[in-house]
Amino acid sequence: MAGEWSRVDGALERTFEFADFAEAFAFMTRVAMLAERHDHHPDWSNSWNRVTIRLTTHSAGGTVTDKDEALARAIDGVA
């Protein structure tokens, strides 16, 4: 499993912190492109310099699958 990801309420979750809103938003843009390539889209939120991402596979009943772990590793690669 990827670096600092935790299991929270049945999902993989990680919060990323950046210097400011612009860096956080740029990261979200990179993750959006990854999500499209993986055909797997996160639940996430942004508050100024923080981005929290939650990964589950909705088609598998909202559980964590290999797709989530693969996307988590890819996200770590662009963080």
Considering the domain boundaries, does residue 45 fall inside one? yes
Task: Using alpha carbons, select from 54, 61, 48 the residue that is nearest to residue 22.
Answer: 48
Cβ neighbours of residue 21 closer than 8 Å, sequence gap 6 or more? 48, 49
Domain encompassing residue 28: 6-78
pLDDT above 90 (res 1): no
Considering the domain boundaries, does residue 62 fall inside one? yes
pLDDT, the chain, mean: 94
What digits encode the pLDDT tens for the residues 24-55? 999 999 999 999 999 999 999 999 999 999 99
Q: Residue 2: what pLDDT?
A: 43
Considering the domain boundaries, does residue 37 fall inside one? yes
Considering the domain boundaries, does residue 29 fall inside one? yes
Q: For residue 41, what is the domain's CATH number?
A: 3.30.1360.20
Of residues 44 and 2, more confidently modeled: 44
For 8, the 3-state DSSP assignment is strand
Considering the domain boundaries, does residue 16 fall inside one? yes
Count: domains in the chain: 1
- Indicate the pTM of the whole model: 0.91
Considering the domain boundaries, does residue 40 fall inside one? yes
Considering the domain boundaries, does residue 1 fall inside one? no
